[in-house]
Amino acid sequence: MNIARAPLNADQGTLPRLPGWVTSRRGESLEDVAFLSGAALGHLHLVVMHADVPQSLLRERLALRAAEASVAQSGRSERAADLRDAVHLQRPGDLPGPAGEIYQQWRQAVERPISVAALHRAVSTYSETTRAVWLGRLGAGQGGPVGRASAVIEAVLSDHPRAEHVALILADAVLAQALGWKHMVPLFGGGLTPRDLRKTGEALRLACHHAAVVSAVEATRMAADLTRRAARLHAVAPKLRAKGAGAAVEMFLTRDSVAPSALPLPDRAARRLCDRLVALGAVREVTGRDSFRLYGV
């Protein structure tokens, strides 16, 4: 497999910068906050459409952020490192546990283009009738994108108050669909607090607009960082001689974390490749352990 060449203009300066007034102002009225969220989401749209941004990797990293928040909202203590272990160190036949399952659902939601079929796995624990009602809201509803997403959250939680992560997954899907994005980009999942999710009506819409601003800023910062890191990986890729290195590079560019055993190389060669990429400054070891290591851009 040929290793892809580095993208042109992949430094931070090529990405559109978020106007300072979006982050420096804090509106309190629904009208003011809606204006700021519209500006933030309009800016994020440029980032999501930018050719140099590793979009799959960005969605994976935002899915981890959303899953960590969802797990905390459920009252569990697992954090990002635990979620990575639960999912990426699974062996065939293993179960990821409740926290790992939430993380898997977020990852599955961002993996494929938005559709009813792709989102079924995120709500598979609920009855077929309930799933049909919730998923029927995709592409439906009136008002702006954030208002429609807020209505989905309220509808899901009115039926099942403990289905927070399902409500957030569907809300992010509705937002992305309303904005014309092919894939879901987790924003509400990492931006709304448990207190926000207890709100209804205008108060919930206000919280959703606030969350859209905060999360769009975070997603833009993350996109700039990942674009620089991806450019570095592209730059060193021609130095890799191992058979299967091209496919391995592609995995690093699309996944938050990768275990050496998941790479398309023999075990020893996979570990050597990971060590080589770390030495070249192209990937990082993310666990800090001497064994059961995970690597990511």
Lowest mean pLDDT among 26-30, 172-176, 277-281: 26-30
Residue with tokens 């420096």: 24
Question: pLDDT at residue 7 above 80?
Answer: no
Residue 197's pLDDT band (cuts 50, 70, 90): very high
Regarding predicted confidence, which is higher, 197 or 125? 197
Q: What is the pLDDT of residue 28?
A: 78
Residue 1's pLDDT band (cuts 50, 70, 90): very low
Q: Which fold has domain 240-296?
A: Arc Repressor Mutant, subunit A (1.10.10)
What is the C-alpha to C-alpha distance for residues 208 and 226, in angstroms, rounded to an integer? 26
The pLDDT of 265-291, averaged and rounded, is 96
Sign of CA dihedral 161, 167, 168, 171: negative
Question: pLDDT at residue 11 above 60?
Answer: no
Say if residues 129 and 151 touch (Cβ distance below 8 Å).
Answer: no
Q: What is the pLDDT of residue 54?
A: 97
| pTM of the model as a whole | 0.91
What tens digit of pLDDT does each residue of 109-129 get? 999 999 887 888 777 777 777
DSSP3 helix / strand / coil % (the chain, rounded to 5): 65, 0, 35
What tens digit of pLDDT does each residue of 155-167 get? 999 988 999 999 9
What tens digit of pLDDT does each residue of 201-229 get? 999 999 999 999 999 999 999 999 999 99
What tens digit of pLDDT does each residue of 15-35 get? 878 888 888 767 678 999 999
Q: DSSP code of 90? A: P
Q: What is the pLDDT of residue 252?
A: 98
Q: Which two tokens stand for residue 191?
A: 């931006």
What tens digit of pLDDT does each residue of 70-96 get? 999 999 999 999 999 999 999 888 889
The pLDDT of 134-143, averaged and rounded, is 71
Question: pLDDT at residue 141 above 80?
Answer: no
Q: What is the pLDDT of residue 140?
A: 64
Q: What is the pLDDT of residue 259?
A: 97
Q: What torsion, rounded to 10 degrees, do the Cα atoms 57, 58, 61, 63 define? A: -110
Residue 53's pLDDT band (cuts 50, 70, 90): very high
What is the C-alpha to C-alpha distance for residues 269 and 266, in angstroms, rounded to an integer? 5
What is the C-alpha to C-alpha distance for residues 187 and 170, in angstroms, rounded to an integer? 11
Q: What is the pLDDT of residue 139?
A: 64
Question: pLDDT at residue 4 above 60?
Answer: no
Q: What is the mean pLDDT of the chain?
A: 90
Q: What is the pLDDT of residue 17?
A: 82
